[in-house]
Every structure is written in C-alpha cells, then in structure tokens.
Structure 1
Amino acid sequence: MKFPLTALTAAALITAAPWALAQNVAIVNGKAVPTARVAVLEQQIAATGRPIDDTVRAQLKEEVVLREIFIQEAEKRGVAATEDYKNQMELARQTIMIRSLFTEYQKTNPVTDADIQAEYDKFVAANSGKEYRARHILVEKEDQAKAIIASLKKGGKFEDIAKKQSKDPGSGANGGDLDWAAAGSYVPEFSEAMVKLKKGELTQTPVKSQFGFHVIRLDDERTAVIPKLEELKPQIAQQMQQQKLVEFQKSLRDKAKIE
C-alpha cells in the first residue's frame, strides 16, 4: 500500500538541500563521501553553541570534500606507512579512548545533591563570622615601616604612600586595599594585629611576617556575607566532579604495576 505525502513531508523535501537528502555528499575520484561526515562535524559545532545555518552547512560540505581529496593524495604517497603517522595515530587513539573513559566514569559516578550540600556546609562553617576590609603597606625593613607610621600620624595619605612604597604589587597599586576577607585568609601575625584594630585605626608598630614589615589600617568590618547554595551549586558541582576524576586517575595510577 502506498501512502501519500503529507503537506509537511512534501515541504520538508522541497526545502531540504539536495545533498542532505542523498546518501553521499559527493563522489571524489570515484569514491563516495557520505553525508554522515557532515553530520559529525555539525554535532561538534552544535556542542560549542554555535548556530548552524545553510552557510555553515555549505562550508562543512566543502570541508569534507577537501578532506577526501587530501586523504586520497596522502594514501597515494604512502603516508600511512610512515612511523610518524603511526605514532600520531596511536596518540590520537589513546586520547579518544581516555576521554571516553573519563566521560563514562563521570556519568556513572555523579556528584549528588547530598554531596553538594555537605561541601556547601563545610564552606559556610569555614567562612562564617566576621570579614574585614583592611589596607596595608609592605616594606622590607622595620625602620621603613616606622617612618611610614610616623608620616601617617602627621597627616600623610595612606593610599599615596602605599602606591609609592609598598612592595606588594597587587594591593600597592590599589592604595594598599586588600578588599573584604576573613581573618583566616592572612598569615597569623597579620591577622592577629588586624583584628585588634577598631574601624579607622592604624597599627602603632610595624607587624613582622614572613613577607616583611606591614603597616595595617582597618577600614571596616562586617558579618560575613555567605552566598546561597543555589548561587554556588554549579561551581561546587564542577569542582567536586573534577576532584572525583582526579581521585579516580590517582587510584588507577596507584593500582598499576609499573616495572
């Protein structure tokens, strides 16, 4: 029994590119170039989020035709018999198989919502409490730090001195600003001196650490602002997936017998 074409099917056949309806894109020197090759390239492009239109499809068609021309010439010249080709093919085979192995592992060992919640709870516990916004000027010698403190007491501008004299390139360029951070983010000597200060106060003596001598000013403090789970969930999931993969790789390395 024959079934008539529906209007939708007929329209699809009319609008589809002729080569897309055929089994092959082209015949190159008597050898068929299947449309499946174009489909594979389309999938790779689609995975990047790039839209695929008729112009892109035409470019892909030309690419697979050119590839066939080039591969035929390479075969004529015996490229496949060279050691360089064999070695590169082996590396490519390994890369594809390893990527597939890791993808399969991640599919069968997903990060669960419970895992993410537990990791978030650790983050909250470690970052709760106060946050401080401080500035510092870091110099090599204690005498330099004492001179800076004396200058500040006489009305010197902290930000200007930090830009000129601090050897901390990151904060120095910003007038010594260290932005908001928990006390535990700093080395103990710095942290201990900073938390004793009141808003607007300056350390009266240089603070020595492994980096040199610090002159510290506390600009502000607040209760730590913790992002909600929903905000951090994608980032936590990605980090935990990567950690699982690293542990999987390490377990394989540890179990391997290497002589």
Structure 2
Amino acid sequence: MKKIILSSIAAAVLGVSLNATVFATVNGEDVTDQDIAVLMRAMQGAKFETLPEDAKQKIVEQAIERKLLTSEAMKSGVEKDKDYAEALKRIKSDLALEVWMKKIFDGVKVSPQEVKDYYDKNADKFMQPATVKARHVLVKTEEEAKDVIKQLDGLSGQKLADKFIELATTKSTGPSGQGGGDLGWFAANQMVKPFADAAFALKKGEITKVPVQTQFGYHVILVEDTKAAEKATFETVKANIENGLKMEKFRVQVSEKAKKLRQNAKVTTK
C-alpha cells in the first residue's frame, strides 16, 4: 500500500518538532534531528537510529557541513538573486499544494467495517505461499554430492540433522556452509526452479536421494520443516488495508476536485 510522499522541503516543514534532538551546535545554531532527516531521505529504507556509530557520525558531520554551507550561501546575498526568487516562488506553490493535499488526506475516514469487509472479500490478496525451512550442502561435482548422500544414508531425526550440519560446515562451497547450510524459510519463487522443485517435494526430516543440479553446482537438501499456504491474519494486514482504502478515497476526492476546477477553467494546450 502506498502512502503520501511529501517533498523533502514539505516534510521538513511539517515535521518540525518542539523537542528536537540536538547533535551539534554550529556558530550558535543547533544541528537537530530535522537536519539529519533531510540527509537520511537520500538513503531510502535506512534509519539513523539503526546505523553503526561511525556511520551516524558521518551523517552528523555532513549535517554540520550543510549548516555551514547554508550560512555561507545566505551571507553571499543569494536571496537577492533573480534565480533564487523564481525558485522560491515555485517552492511556495509546491508546498502550498502538498500541505493542502495532506489536509485532505488526513480528513479521509475509513471505518473498521470497511477494512474488515475488504479483507473478507479479497482473500486471494492475502494468501501467503507455502514455505519450507531447509539446509543444503553445495558441492562442485555430482560425485561429491553422491558421497554426501551416502554418508547420510540410514540416518534420521537429530542424528541426520547433526551429520548434515557437519557435512555442510566442512564440505559446502556456498556462503551458507558456515551456518551449517541453513537457508531459513523460503517460498518456491525465492529459489531457482530445480532447487525449489526438489525442496518442496520433500517432507519434514527428509533429504534428497539424488543430487540436485543448478547453475551453482550440485545440492543435497534437508527439509527441516514445512508450512502450508495460508491466509494472512486480519490483525497483521488491517493497517495496510486501512491505509490503502484511505489512499483510494483520497485519490477519488482529488480527482473529482480537479475535474470540477477544469470545467470552470480556461485551459489551452500547445
């Protein structure tokens, strides 16, 4: 589900906090979390709080430099420049539109019943695919894979798991080898087809009896657990549903408003 995305300037203006965190002071002016937020928008998906300490310090240093450069720009008399005035006029127009649209969005209401009805009537959209939890031993040749299978022959339960982990750790050429071949949970579409076909054909506690060839080499697979396809619970998706319904209502309102304005406007295209 999509959310309204404000421009960096609009987000900075609307996100001003009265209790801003101060990271540094530059010539008497604070470098706050708002200054940090402007820089973090260029790092999509990253959160300042979760960055390593050295990365955080680099961001703070960039914010300090930005504060110094901004101050220098203002001292240069750039505000009297014609380009500055024209750019400021455009920014004011864009900001006015975005703030106005945000107010419309915030005013859109979606009832709990609408959310529940959408969930009940769109079951196919909330189906989670079947998944398996598996380990593998990846080797370069078919003979090596056959040898691994031979060493596992006759084992079951914890003895099979322990031996498999040992062989994965000592023989596997893949990056998962150091973790005992652990691949975690995955759906069929997350793996190359020959590997996925073999893994999903196994039951819990079973291994492949013949090597599985892919472009990466030859695999021996152990399935540790399986989960059937199931519908995501209402609680896990209701927030996304609500936001999606709200966005759709918002789009309809704005579209209808634009159509009415266009009917009464003089528009010429070139």
TM score, norm. by length of structure 1: 0.49
Q: Which has the higher contact order (CA 8 A, sep 6+)?
A: 2
Kindly name which structure, 1 or 2, has the bigger radius of gyration based on alpha carbons: 1
